[in-house]
Structure 1
Amino acid sequence: MSQLTPLFPRKPVPALSVPTLDGSTWSLADSKPENFTMVVVYRGLHCPICGNYLKDLDRKLADFRERGVEVIVLSSDDEARAKQAKEDWKIENLTMGYGLTLRKAREWGLYVSSGRGKTSVGIEEPNLFVEPGLFLIRPNGELYFATVQTMPFARPDFGAILKALDFVIAKDYPGRGEIIDIPAEAAE
């Protein structure tokens, strides 16, 4: 099994390219946002919490675009499951990617879970699937902000992210949590 790799602000993120439901391929290398690219990883069709989360983002997509943020949502689901999620959840505006490999998910510091049968909505979990994550990436490919989770609960609120973006953009606030050498006396 591949190792979980943490990502650090102010450092380049791994390459990322996925097919999308509109028939194209989305690539981070081709993303040219004014301020940030926001990559939102969801668990997949089997996750009703993901549906509500993405519906909220779908409603707020224009607000992110006004702030110069390009948005992609993706999962490890195959194309058929991603299409069903889009239809079932009534996602109208988001670019939806699919087929995120588990190895690529690990490169991005994401957790992987094993399926446990049918969920509360009666949909079978895949044998293995990626847990949620949210990444803000600067136009130069460096990580600005990341959150990864081991469960579907308590994800970052998109309204709060929009407010934070207003501050971050206005103040040119730097990414925090970068790799630094910790002095020996502070390490204890």
Structure 2
Amino acid sequence: MTQLTPLFPRQQVPALSVKTLGGGNWEISDAKPENFTMVVVYRGLHCPICGMYLKDLDRKLADFKERGVDVIALSSDDEARATQARDDWKIENLTLGYGLTLEKAREWGLYISAGRGKTSVGIEEPKLFVEPGLFVVRPNGELYFASVQSMPFARPDFAAVLKALDFVIANDYPGRGEIVDHLAQAAE
């Protein structure tokens, strides 16, 4: 199994390409937002928390667009499961990507879990699937902010993210957590 390696702010994010519901491919390298691209990784159809989380994001999508932030949500689900998630959760505006490979998830520093049968909503978990992550990426492909989780609980609140973006954009606040080798940095 590949070692989990974090991404660091102010460094380029790995390539990312997924198919989207409604047709076409989405690639991070093609993103041309005014300020940021926000990539929200969700666990999949089997996760009722994901449904509530993405529905909240769907309601706030215009607020992100007003701030010059393009948004995509994606999972390792196949097209059929992603379509069912969109329909069951009544996602109306949010671009949903599907087919995130586990290898690509690892490149982005995401955790992977093993399925444990049916969830509380009676949907079978996939054999393996990704855990949640939220990534805010500058137009030049540099990571600005990341939140990676090993559990479905306590994800970043989108209202708080919007408030933070207002401050960040107004103050040209730099990405933090950029130090890769703290021992070498401290020796300088």
Pairwise same-fold verdict (TM > 0.5):
yes
Match of 1:37 in 2: 37
CA contact (8 A) 2:8 2:180 kept: no
Per-residue CA distance 1:20-50 (angstroms, 9 max, x = gap): 0010100001000000000000000000000
**Structure 2 matches for 1:26-175, cutoff 5 A?**
26-175=26-175
The secondary structure found in structure 2 opposite 1:54 is helix
Q: Deviations over 1:79-134 (max 9, x none)?
A: 00000000000000000000000000000000000000000000000000000000
* Partner Cα separation in structure 1 for residue 21 and residue 185 of structure 2: 52
CA pair 168-48 structure 1, distance change in 2 beyond 3 A: same
SS in 1 for 2:182: coil
Normalization by structure 2: what TM-score? 0.97
Instruction: Specify the alignment match of 1:25 in structure 2.
Output: 25
Which AA in structure 2 matches 1:142? E
Paired with 1:82 and 1:159, the residues of 2 have a C-alpha distance of: 25
Return the letter of the residue paired with 1:46. H
Q: Does the aligned pair in 1 maintain the 2:110–2:149 contact within 8 Å?
A: yes
> In structure 2, how many angstroms separate the alpha carbons of the residues matched to 1:180 and 1:89?
39
- Equivalents in 2 of 1:137, 1:38: separation in Å? 6
Distance 1:62 1:32 in 2: 17
Shift in alpha-carbon separation, 1:162–1:30, aligned structure 2, 3 A: same
Please report the RMSD computed on the Cα atoms of aligned residues, expressed in angstroms.
1.4
SS class of match (1:40): strand
Identity %: 82
Structure 1: runs of 5 or more not aligned: none
Q: In structure 2, how many angstroms separate the alpha carbons of the residues matched to 1:126 and 1:105? A: 15
Distance 1:184 1:68 in 2: 36
Amino acid across the alignment from 2:112: V
User: Which amino acid counterpart does residue 33 of structure 1 have in structure 2?
Assistant: P
Number of aligned residue pairs: 187
- Partners of 2:186 and 2:107 lie apart in 1 by 29
Give, in whole Å, the separation in 1 of the partners of 2:68 and 2:34: 5
Gaps of 5+ in 2: none
TM-aligned CA distance change 1:113 to 1:186, over 3 Å: same
Local SS of the residue matching 2:71: strand
TM-score scaled by structure 1? Answer: 0.97
Post-superposition offset of 1:3: 2.2
